[in-house]
Amino acid sequence: MNIDVPSTCGNAPRHQIITQILTAAYGKDLPVLERWFSPDIRWSIAGKEALTGFDAVREWVLATPEKLTVRFLSVLTHGSEGSADGQTYEHDKSVTHFSHVLKFASAGKSAKVKEIRSYFVNE
């Protein structure tokens, strides 16, 4: 899987954490997700039933199609929240635009993610 991150995304530790978490989700890297996600994480995906708990997230991540490329357009952080948007490209050449908003347990750089809100638009 190819990852394209803007050069400005390395300026803050939380930028790197957000790109690492989302790259792990797209790449099905469960140990990384387990390290960063609260056991009772809630992941809300627009138009779908929310995922509650790491087991539900694991199932969803494993069931999603493989990505050829993930391109981050922006990664933003403020306090205990952060977001990223961009596009994914699949092997069948389909493109999906995404936006993820992450809420961490605190503003500390080792805080776990307790909530994610995601939006996907297929091209």
pLDDT tens-digit map of 6-52:
877 566 789 999 999 999 999 999 999 999 999 999 999 999 999 99
Question: What is the distance between the alpha carbons of residues 108 and 25, in angstroms, rounded to a whole number?
Answer: 21
Short-list 119, 117, 97, 113, CA closest to 17: 113
CATH 3.20.20.140 given to domain 2-122 = no
Structure-token pair, residue 98: 């995404």
- Provide the residue count of the chain: 123
pLDDT 10s digits, 74-111: 999 999 999 999 999 998 999 999 999 999 999 988 99
What's 64's DSSP letter? S
Q: How confident is the model at residue 60 (pLDDT cuts 50, 70, 90)?
A: very high
Amino acid (1-letter code) at residue 38 = S
Helix (H, G, I), strand (E, B), or coil: what is residue 117?
A: strand
pLDDT attached to residue 11 = 66
